Amino acid sequence: MQLNKYIDHTLLKANATVEDIKNLCAEAKKYDFYAVCVSSYYAALADSELMHTDIKVATVIGFPLGSMTSRVKAFEAQQCIDQGADEIDMVLNIGLLKSGYYKIVEDEIRSIKKTIGNKTLKVIFENCYLTDEEKKIACKLSLNAGADFIKTSTGFGTGGATLEDVELMKNEVHDYLKIKASGGIRDLKIAKKYIDLGVSRIGTSSGVTMVTSN
């Protein structure tokens, strides 16, 4: 198992500086991580820093609340792609999902996927706010809308990834969608447990610690 190739090396803190993003990209190159994950403003910078590598640039949109309008999310996604992003991690509209407005939630996911075309779309659920039934519904909506990944958490909610949530998500989507676990994953042992459950990507700011303790 090449752990480094599961890692989205992540920095989404509000106080992340230009130098911090450059350092993030330098670490990604040093340890050959699969991708970096940054705020949308830093898409162009990350793309520039990772030029001539195969490391992907992932950016978050509608982050971290998910409550922006669909048009705003689509605009943000398009701007990120235009600036070099390879992958988009979107937060679904949590409040509308919990309100039972499933068609609107599904249509929004579909519109973002249409906007970014063949680029990778990950849908962030923020599982800490959802019931198990709502998580299952979010899985189905994401699958129906043509997403590529489903993702556990932003890392900014009241809880992050759990093994139980990943198992539930896997049981719903099987191999039709990939799964990204993120939020609170900080050591090698727990990362391996997620991979054993079938996740394809791990979002973490502790990737360097993980791979150097391998």
86 is catalytic: no
Tens-digit pLDDT profile for residues 137-192? 999 999 999 999 999 999 999 999 999 999 999 999 999 999 999 999 999 999 99
Considering the candidates 86, 122, 151, 165, report the single residue annotated as catalytic: 151
Report CA torsion sign: 139, 145, 148, 151.
negative
Buried b (16+ CB within 10 A) or exposed e, 160-197: bbbeebbebbbebbeeebbbbbbbebeebebbbebbeb
Catalytic residue among 47, 89, 148, 165: 89
Range of the domain at 146: 3-212
Find the CATH number of the domain harbouring 101.
3.20.20.70
Decide if pLDDT at 214 tops 90. no
First-residue to last-residue Cα distance in the chain: 11
89 is catalytic: yes
Tens digit of pLDDT for each residue in 100-124? Answer: 999 999 999 999 999 999 999 999 9
- The mean per-residue pLDDT over the stretch 6-27 comes to 98
151 is a catalytic site residue: yes
Report d(CA 10, CA 44) in Å as an integer: 16
Token pair of 145 as six digits: 């809308």
Provide the number of structural domains found in the chain. Answer: 1
